[in-house]
Amino acid sequence: MKAVVARVTRAAVTVEDTVVGSIDEPGLLVLLGIHVDDDSAKAAVMARKLHELRILREERSCAETGAPLLVVSQFTLYGDTRKGRRPSWTAAARGEVAEPLVDAVVAELERRGATVSTGQFGAMMAVQSVNDGPFTVLVEV
């Protein structure tokens, strides 16, 4: 499981011109990819890491500040471009495996007290964000 995490001042996800998820204050935009070998234990670890990741201002976390997270599923994080010019998606979990694990990460974040908004799994989403500085990290479990 991996996530690209950006510190943002606001972010939104739209599907067919309708906002399906957003945060309107400083927090984290999380693009979450699920690997074919991931399981619920990794989902719990990822949620903990995201909630406690100290990349907000003054090296603080969402757990410390109550900052919201916008979680968007992103199978393309597992695109393999080592051969040829067309990515291979064999490492990305299929939808029926990935969706429950994305939901598990979100549920665990909420169980920890986080404010979480999401995209729409499997939809063609437009993601807009206003980054808080050029601060983006890769988180893997």
68-83 pLDDT per residue, tens = 999 999 999 999 999 9
Reported confidence tier of residue 140, pLDDT bands at 50, 70, 90: very high
Residue 134: the pLDDT is 84
In the annotation, is 75 catalytic? Answer: yes
Residue 10 forms beta bridges with which residues? 130
76-135 pLDDT per residue, tens = 999 999 999 999 999 999 999 999 999 999 999 999 999 999 999 999 999 999 999 889
Contact 71/109 with Cβ under 8 angstroms? yes
Active-site residue, from 65, 74, 81, 121: 74
Domains of the chain: 2-140 (3.50.80.10)
39-58 pLDDT per residue, tens = 999 999 999 999 999 999 99
Residue 139: the pLDDT is 98
Cα-trace Rg, the chain: 14
Residue pointed to by tokens 């990515």: 87
Residue 63: the pLDDT is 98
Q: What tokens does 32 get?
A: 């979450």
Active-site residue, from 9, 76, 90, 120: 76
Q: What tokens does 84 get?
A: 């040829």
4-21 pLDDT per residue, tens = 999 999 999 999 999 999
Please report the beta strands in 24-109, taking only residues with DSSP state E, as ranges in sequence order. Answer: 27-33, 69-73
In the annotation, is 76 catalytic? Answer: yes
In the annotation, is 121 catalytic? Answer: no
Active-site residue, from 75, 81, 120, 121: 75
* 6 burial via Cβ count (<10 Å: 0-12, 13-18, 19+): buried
